[in-house]
Amino acid sequence: MTMTTLFAALFYLAALLFSVGLIYRIRDYARTPAPLVIPTTPAPRTVGGVAMRMAREVFFFESLFKGNLWTWAFGWLFHVGLALVLLRHLRYFIDPVWDWVIFIQPFGIYAGLVMVAGLAGLWARRIFVDRVRFISTPSDHLMLALIIAIALSGLFMKFVSHTDVIAVKNFFIGLLHFNLQALPSDGILYAHLSMIATLMIIFPFSKLLHAPGLFFSPSRNQADNSRDKRHLSAWAAKLESGK
């Protein structure tokens, strides 16, 4: 029971830090003014066009595709795999499980493999391409190691040593209702869960901020309409009234 309490506490803490940290960051980005119109042109002239540009960046990594095909391929596979895996894991948090979540279960398994392949490719580039090696910090390697370890421990429980998924589900549903249920005592599961909690905790303090950051990137989210619409930030407007 002590491990159950420990993990419950860990996940409450991780969820708190993750959400509060992320909300704080997003509010900070949203409140920081963008005084000048700086879209990387040619850029869409309308808000609808900007939404399309952003959607292509979010779903297809358009700029990265132009930049480097290998990085794009590995990165895109990893992110798509991760998205499917996360959706697959919804079954641990909802009851009864939605039909489409049941439908994607088998794909989620392949996605786990694809995700590891993508991460391995990204790591190989970090090690073997001299330019990327030069810019890599220890935390860049550790981040890859952490996510690969999370994926491998998850796949291990799927393919090698099953854990009691019903009990895991009861544990998480219990967490959502502040009603503690026993977590199966399973070393691999402990490893899997503690690494996930770690990832959640470091998210708002690390380069994982690229996820919200993209939406606030002025070179991507601004419309190219500077001659038709006067764009003035609050601090820049003050200079004017001082005149």
Binding stretches for another protein (CB under 8 A):
25, 28-29, 32-38, 40-45, 57, 61, 63-64, 66-68, 71-72, 75, 122, 125-126, 129-132, 134-140, 142, 202, 205-207, 209-210, 213-214, 216-220, 224, 226-232, 235-237, 239-240, 243
Collapse the DSSP code of 29 into the 3-class scheme (helix H, G, I; strand E, B; otherwise coil) and give the result. helix
Q: What is the CA radius of gyration of the chain?
A: 22
CA distance 108 to 90: 11
Measured from the CB atom, the residue of 8 and 147 that comes closer to another protein is 147
Nearer residue to another protein within complex by CB, 89 or 126? 126
Distances (CA, A) of 184 to 6, 13, 91, 152, 228: 13, 20, 17, 19, 62
Q: What is the DSSP string of 157-212?
A: HHHTS---HHHHHHHHHHHHTT---PPP--HHHHHHHHHHHHHHHHGGGSGGGHHH
Q: Which is nearer to another protein, 68 or 194 (CB)?
A: 68
- What is the spatial distance between Cα 185 and Cα 171, in angstroms, rounded to a whole number? 12
Q: Which is nearer to another protein, 161 or 226 (CB)?
A: 226
Least Å from the CB of residue 28 to another protein: 7
CB closer to another protein out of 156 and 216: 216
Least gap, CB of 143 to another protein (angstroms): 9
Q: How far is the CB of 97 from another protein (least distance, A)?
A: 33
- Which is closer to another protein, CB of 104 or CB of 119? 119
Q: How far is the CB of 200 from another protein (least distance, A)?
A: 15
| In the complex, minimum distance from the CB of residue 153 to another protein, in angstroms, rounded to a whole number | 23
Residue type at position 221: N
Assess contact for 143 and 119: CB atoms under 8 A.
Answer: no
204: nearest Cα among 5, 15, 71, 58: 15
CB of 132 to another protein, least distance (A): 4
